Structure 1
Amino acid sequence: MRSPIERWLPRLFKLGLLLILCAGAWQSRHGWPVSANLMELVPQAGADATRQLAEARIQEPLSRQLIALVATQSANAGADAAAPARLLAQRWTDSGLFSSVQVELQIDVPALRAQLLAGRLAMLPAADRHQLETDPAAYAQRRARELSDPFSSSGLVPADQDWLGLTRRAEQALRPGGAVQYDMGTGTLQAEHAGRRWMLVRAETRGDAFDAAAPQQIAAQLEQDRAALGAAGAELLVAGGPLYAAAGRAQAVAESSWIGTGATIGIVLVLLLALRRVRALLAFVPVAVGLLTGAVACVAVFGSIHVLTLVIGASLIGVAVDFPMHWLGKSYGMADWQAWPALRRVLPGLTISLAASLVGYVALAFTPFPALTQTAVFSAAGLLGAYACTVCQLPAWMDGWRPRPWQPLLRFAEAALHARQRLAGRRAALWLGALALIAATAGGISRLSIQDDLRQWLSLPAPLLQQARQIGEITGFMPTSQFFLVRAPDADELLRRQARVSQALDALVARGDLAAYNALSQLVSPAADQKALGATLASLAGQPDAWKPLTDIGIPYAALRLELQSMAALPPQAIEDALQGPLAERWRPLWLGVREGQAAGMVTLLGLRDASALEAIARVAPDVTLVDRSGELNRMFAATRIEAAELKLLSYGVAALLLLLTLGRAAAWRILAVPLAATACSLAALGYLGQPLTLFSLFGLLLVSAIGVDYAIFMYERVAGAAASLVGILLGAATTLLSFGLLAVSQTPAIANFGLAVALGVAFSLLWAPWINPPRAAAPHPAFNN
């Protein structure tokens, strides 16, 4: 007979489910709140607003820009050579997916000349400034040689407007390195590589790379563009954050779909084989409720749910179905199995198992990694939803219904228990086996390596990576994630500190460990240095002997004196002034302005091959910070892995206390022995398989602890007999192995490592759980009384 609370539970559950559905519908009112932004899963930088601005500046081009190279044969170097690149630019413009598309540079020559003439003191390289101040005659001699050679003296500014050639020296210093050159005939940027001419096309997307639909639309557009250019005999290479986001989202959605589908089909077969009733498929309802509850909870807490969380969450199917599996599995030992009475008998075990699982997930929620925190929230909320559905609603649907147990499964469980009993009676063999197992486990753990690398989270398609490498090789520009953040009391000191960093970086360039770098000190010199140079030039205007090499080739001294006086009168240029002109595009993002009373700017790196020297370079001047986000994250991975291990040990302590209070001391150590043994064996197996211990595999082993406690509790309580309890564990293990085993073949290394760790742990938990025996002559604990 149903109690009053059992009659009310289904109604309360339906009300709660309706509220969750309404919450989910509200969260999805503007589209599915699913994110593919990998940066949402890693800890953000500290509270330093200047550093956050710098990182955002570095990240923006990665998330919004596309770089394309269109190849033609060098033989077709005429005006038509740019036709394929212009076709691509036109297609991108017509698509409406991009806010700007650039294939031809609109160069304003008068503006360039004006900027060079106005800023020739500010933009003059330090070496030339030093020579003018210390040895003007040597400078004049070099300039005379240049003017005698028309090929070496040509520049944007005519010689009669700049006899000393300061604008030409600045122009040469500001010219970007690499293989990309401006082609006057077509107005495009081009590079020669392996006998082919490549033309550069740049575009900026309207939205972020991690918008819901834009990356997929851009990827589809590029497939069409590639076909159109291929038909025209041209080759297309493209790289950019939107393509990586589209590939990551597509892979995550595909994996979550086939993992969920595969696990669902397998669990359906297990249910139909074990219970042989179509209504047994209602055991899937708690799974659906768990997934819905986990997703809604994640969006409520974090504002969105990441696609990687969805992939891992798809494996929750195998865990959430354990609740109904344990309950339905009791039909193998209860001839008069009925829904509500059977639930009353397994409810204490289900509740303790849920509490032990939640302890592990709650512990994970306190790690600093949003990836683990989001997964913990999803899983904890999902398990609560699955438990509520199993306890409150499922018995009402199953009332008056009985499963038809598959007797061969029961006989298998009985035979396994008899074999274990016979082995337990052979003390000598048992001790020898235990010692051999301990030795093998120690050997496997000794082989275990530790790996903490952000690249484990990425599984980009090989064609995308290959195109990015090709673009870097062809253009000669390969940006790196590391950069220097330089701060100083004022702009002049900032430029001096950047110049000291630049001198150290020049040594790396000379060794071949760095291709190039960008610093504000390359564009403009400190105002005090400009004034000092102006004073020097004013003094030199009255020293005709210093300029004899120039007067000897026919340049009137009066013209030289007038030019020197006019340059001495030039006002000093500040950083903001230098950044206004068309020559400054490359340096514009480096200036962060005056923040918190300090001038701040960046020094960015290109083609870094050896990062070991960067720490030392950061010490060449005060307030220079090396920002190495990937290195910091890898170090944080290691720290978080240690923290997760500590939390794991803490969760064992909490679980032990929980078991001690509910089941007693004898039960606590017996039950905890199963997850401890399963965890040790899983670590050894990972070592023998050559798999590293990562943050995600440690998270998987934390989940193994909860699963091991779950199995041990039900073998300890033996409701409806040991064989029936083992059947329930077998069914739960089969469903869990189906879902997590599929995760182990994911293309994303972190997810595959997580799935393998859990699958191994479940297998070992299944192996050790049958060895649990209640204390001899002990009465059932009150927790298991009705």
Structure 2
Amino acid sequence: MKTLFSNWPNRLTVLWLLLLIITAVAVGQAWWSKTLHIQTNIFALLPSQQQDPVLDRARAHVNQALNQKVFVVLDAKDPEKLQQATALLRQRMQQHQELWHPLKPQADLNQLGKVYFEHRAGLINAEDIASIQQQDIDALIERSLLQVLSPGMPITGQLLQQDPLLLFPRYMMGLQQQHAAQAIDMQDGFATLEDQQGLSRLLILDLAQSPYNVRYQGQSSAWIAETRQQLQQLGVNSAWTGTLIFSTAGTNSAKDEISTIGLGSSLGVLLLVWFGFRSIRPMLTEFIAVSTGSLLAFAVTHYIFGEIHIMTLVFGASLIGVCVDFSFYFMALQSQQPKRTGFAVLKPILPSLFIGLMTTLVAYVFLSFTPFPGFKQIAVFSMMGLAAAWVSSILLLPRLPALNAAPAIRRLAWIGQARLWMQRQHTVRYGMIVVILITTASSLWWLKSNDDVHNLQTMDPTLQQQDQYIRQRFAQQQGQEYLLLRADSAEQLQQLEQTLLQKLQQLQQDGALQSFQAIAQVIPSVAQQQANIKALQALPDATLMTYADALQLDVATLRQWQQQLSQQRPLSLADFSQHPLAFLQVSPTERLILLQGIHLLPALEQLQSEQVSLIRPVAELSELFYEHRIQAQYLLGYALLALGLALSLIYGIRAIVSLMLPVCMALLSTFAIQAWMGVEINLFSIMAAFLIMGLGVDYAIFYRHGHDHPQVVGMALFLCMMSTLFGFGLLSLSHTYAIHCFGLTVLLGVIFSFVYATLLTKADPRYTALTADSNQINPDE
């Protein structure tokens, strides 16, 4: 026991192990009690728009309504095949209720017709109500006679008793004409279209679970693949789209990329470690360090945020891997002093290792200021994980025997030689600095940005084609652009919607808008219905007699009909809870109007007021990406200033240029190269710049402290750079544009940071790490 606590390394090791054990037990208990929450929704990484709680509620309402659905279009050669395909889908959904809710018709026409008829008194089209208000009985007589004589609409005696002016049939005909442009027919409650392209039917499937549940994605994907195959055997083609489809494709793409890139990264690092130390032991020690760091980071991050995102685990665990810089540097230095104890080798370089850790943490501290929840999580996870991995490394590595790094140091001695040569060539060094600064800074004028939120997902061309086909065929409301109407009462809300409909119809005629969908198109306001009923009640007896004579009706029937009008209740949305457009009612005082095909945005923006808001979620999120990218750029500048100030307090003001110039030049060169390549930067590019800043300053600090062993530092930092390239640079091969930009920025930034730190950082002779009798490698041997 005395030996266990005999010195500070042993005491710290025991305390560290106790902390790790307690943390592991706590995480294990939380996992066993199922209180751990792993978030998989990619959009949970994004900040919530909290300018207006009403707008937030409306966005959440629409997202819930559309994200929980899959839209399917069946294309068949004849109605019989279409019926068979519909029955097949219905049967398969019934058999897998853990995946889907039972298939429901979009509209039960018989039921809808009954509801309309029960509240027919106030349902009058615009042409008829104008004639009634003007008491133009001749126009009413003419339209009714045309209906009676029309073979396409049989008029029964019972209908003439219940609706002698035949107002209801004409109103229903007006509703049907809304779909006449596309010849959409409701067959068996499903939207069915038959034209020159063929026979198509739209089915809307309701999900039984979240579309972002990874396990559910796999199960539903297998079900969809099997269903498509069975439909194909029937001779029916199908197109599928929806949030589930795209999120599943994104998850599968990420898994494939992680497998491919992860395998390449692991093999690359394995070969790199073998090249550097003739052993694979560093892989094991790094695994221990990263694992302990990830454990503590997971526990702290989950405690702070109440959940942890899957992307935080992926990115965070990778970022913790930068602790390999510290271990490579130590093991290379230890290989030159095999006779000394590990802690004796560690003691003189511990300050530089600690300062390197602090400079890296500074970058993540500033990254945590971003309002993006995902970046906050990654920053917290990385800070805790990196610090914990660093502690594990300095407590573990000195206890192990030295490895043989001499062959690698000899082969990479040219790095140290190039550094020493450049340090003597003052004119060449200063000239290179000036040329690089002028060239890269001027190139930033051509740097472009792309803040489109779609960069977060891999857009499969086949899925895009199917999505576009469904939109074109049935004009589905998946664009998620809409107007939010709000008022103090339900009556005012209905009046507001009626006023907006007139303006939208005019915009549609002017070509500013393709189409729109609103509740008022199918359900007039209660006030309008009541006004229509009063207009009917106000018809004089003489007018009724004239109408009765023209259609050969008993005038008593008309009088009885007129007296019963007050007994009929106006139609309300409560009567249409199963209507396809019922979800447009957010609350009694909030309602939506879906917009499709906005061709002239300013015309729609002019409709906005205190009661009307135009919501374009995708455009707004892209705008949010733009705003926070700009903010992140300022944070990057502030982080560089703060880092320079901290280094000046440690090393003095004269050391700032030597330590900060390489990383600043590396950032300028990185973005200049991307400008030349035509790469458009985004928020993830700036996020990568924070990583470059931390690593680049570490390289400079190690070179500053390594005047007595430049070949060792050069070899160690070369291995560090290559391991970072294998860990992050391969992300540049990703098909997801945001991840590609992140990987490419790290790839270029780390290379430039290493090159500039090697050639430009001045060494300080006051720092020594090797003893006079150390067995140093002669590069000329």
The residue type equivalent to 1:617 in the other structure is L
| Equivalent-residue separation in structure 1 for 2:22 and 2:714 (angstroms) | 37
Q: CA deviation at 1:441?
A: 0.7
| Equivalent-residue separation in structure 1 for 2:99 and 2:601 (angstroms) | 35
Deviation by residue 1:8-66 (Cα, 9 ceiling, x = unmatched):
22222222222332343344334984333122111113274433332222111322212
**Alignment match, 1:56:** 60
1:7 equivalent in alignment to 2:2:
no
1:241 equivalent in alignment to 2:243:
yes
Contact kept? 1:122, 1:530, Cα under 8 Å: yes
Q: Which secondary structure state, in structure 2, belongs to the residue aligned with residue 673 of structure 1?
A: helix
| Equivalent-residue separation in structure 2 for 1:550 and 1:320 (angstroms) | 94
The residue type equivalent to 2:224 in the other structure is L
* Bigger mean CA deviation after superposition, 723-732 or 631-640: 631-640
**Alignment match, 2:163:** 162
Counterparts of 1:4-153 in structure 2, within 5 Å, are 4-29=7-32, 30=34, 33-46=37-50, 48-73=52-77, 76-78=78-80, 81-102=82-103, 107=108, 109=110, 111-126=111-126, 128-134=128-134, 136-137=136-137, 139-141=139-141, 143-144=143-144, 146-151=146-151, 153=153
1:593 equivalent in alignment to 2:594:
no
1:196 corresponds to which of 183, 198, 202: 198
Aligned-residue RMSD, C-alpha? 3.1
1:563 corresponds to which of 561, 564, 568: 561
Counterparts of 1:614-629 in structure 2, within 5 Å, are 614-619=604-609, 622-629=610-617
Q: Which secondary structure state, in structure 1, belongs to the residue aligned with residue 541 of structure 2?
A: coil
2:712 corresponds to which of 724, 742, 752: 724
Deviation by residue 1:251-298 (Cα, 9 ceiling, x = unmatched):
233333433332222111111111112423333222333344444443
Distance 1:716-1:173 versus aligned 2 partners, 3 A rule: farther
The residue type equivalent to 1:563 in the other structure is W
Q: CA deviation at 1:319?
A: 1.5
1:756 equivalent in alignment to 2:754:
no
Deviation by residue 1:732-783 (Cα, 9 ceiling, x = unmatched):
101001111111111211111111111111011011111344477x63499x
Contact kept? 2:40, 2:309, Cα under 8 Å: yes
Q: Which secondary structure state, in structure 1, belongs to the residue aligned with residue 101 of structure 2?
A: strand
Q: CA deviation at 1:148?
A: 4.4
The residue type equivalent to 1:615 in the other structure is E
| Equivalent-residue separation in structure 1 for 2:43 and 2:444 (angstroms) | 32
**Alignment match, 1:480:** 479
Contact kept? 1:252, 1:307, Cα under 8 Å: no
Q: Which secondary structure state, in structure 2, belongs to the residue aligned with residue 202 of structure 1?
A: strand
1:313 corresponds to which of 299, 310, 316: 316
Contact kept? 1:85, 1:200, Cα under 8 Å: no
Counterparts of 1:373-412 in structure 2, within 5 Å, are 373-396=376-399, 398=400, 401-407=401-407, 409-412=408-411
Deviation by residue 1:532-591 (Cα, 9 ceiling, x = unmatched):
33222122142428x857743434444344334433553445xxx333237x61332122
Task: Count residues in correspondence.
Answer: 762
Counterparts of 1:161-310 in structure 2, within 5 Å, are 161-175=162-176, 177=179, 179=182, 181-182=184-185, 188-192=190-194, 195-284=197-286, 285-310=288-313
The residue type equivalent to 1:86 in the other structure is A
After TM superposition, the score normalised by the length of structure 2 is: 0.90
Q: Which secondary structure state, in structure 1, belongs to the residue aligned with residue 733 of structure 2?
A: coil
Q: Runs of 5+ in structure 1 lacking a partner? A: none
Identity %: 24
| Equivalent-residue separation in structure 2 for 1:296 and 1:180 (angstroms) | 58
| Equivalent-residue separation in structure 2 for 1:404 and 1:463 (angstroms) | 53
Contact kept? 1:252, 1:311, Cα under 8 Å: no
Q: Which secondary structure state, in structure 2, belongs to the residue aligned with residue 67 of structure 1?
A: strand
Deviation by residue 1:690-738 (Cα, 9 ceiling, x = unmatched):
1112111011111111111111110111175122112221111010011
Contact kept? 1:146, 1:153, Cα under 8 Å: no
Q: Which secondary structure state, in structure 1, belongs to the residue aligned with residue 650 of structure 2?
A: helix
Counterparts of 1:491-510 in structure 2, within 5 Å, are 491-510=490-509
After TM superposition, the score normalised by the length of structure 1 is: 0.89
| Equivalent-residue separation in structure 2 for 1:106 and 1:526 (angstroms) | 21
| Equivalent-residue separation in structure 1 for 2:6 and 2:139 (angstroms) | 102
Contact kept? 2:141, 2:551, Cα under 8 Å: no
Counterparts of 1:758-773 in structure 2, within 5 Å, are 758-773=746-761
The residue type equivalent to 1:22 in the other structure is V
* Bigger mean CA deviation after superposition, 711-720 or 255-264: 255-264
Distance 1:402-1:424 versus aligned 2 partners, 3 A rule: closer
| Equivalent-residue separation in structure 2 for 1:586 and 1:773 (angstroms) | 68
Q: CA deviation at 1:191?
A: 2.0
Q: Which secondary structure state, in structure 2, belongs to the residue aligned with residue 770 of structure 1?
A: helix
* Bigger mean CA deviation after superposition, 536-545 or 702-711: 536-545
Distance 1:692-1:779 versus aligned 2 partners, 3 A rule: same
Contact kept? 1:444, 1:688, Cα under 8 Å: yes
| Equivalent-residue separation in structure 2 for 1:105 and 1:682 (angstroms) | 54
**Alignment match, 2:662:** 674
Q: Runs of 5+ in structure 2 lacking a partner? A: 772-781
The residue type equivalent to 1:52 in the other structure is D
| Equivalent-residue separation in structure 1 for 2:18 and 2:299 (angstroms) | 16
Contact kept? 2:184, 2:194, Cα under 8 Å: no
Distance 1:360-1:262 versus aligned 2 partners, 3 A rule: same
* Bigger mean CA deviation after superposition, 562-571 or 625-634: 562-571
Q: Which secondary structure state, in structure 2, belongs to the residue aligned with residue 315 of structure 1?
A: helix
Contact kept? 1:452, 1:638, Cα under 8 Å: yes
Deviation by residue 1:201-258 (Cα, 9 ceiling, x = unmatched):
3321222212342221111111111122222222222222222222222223333343
Q: CA deviation at 1:317?
A: 5.8
| Equivalent-residue separation in structure 1 for 2:155 and 2:460 (angstroms) | 45
The residue type equivalent to 1:605 in the other structure is L
Distance 1:729-1:743 versus aligned 2 partners, 3 A rule: same
* Bigger mean CA deviation after superposition, 218-227 or 119-128: 119-128
| Equivalent-residue separation in structure 1 for 2:101 and 2:186 (angstroms) | 21
Counterparts of 1:771-782 in structure 2, within 5 Å, are 771-774=759-762, 779-780=766-767
**Alignment match, 2:777:** none
| Equivalent-residue separation in structure 2 for 1:415 and 1:183 (angstroms) | 78
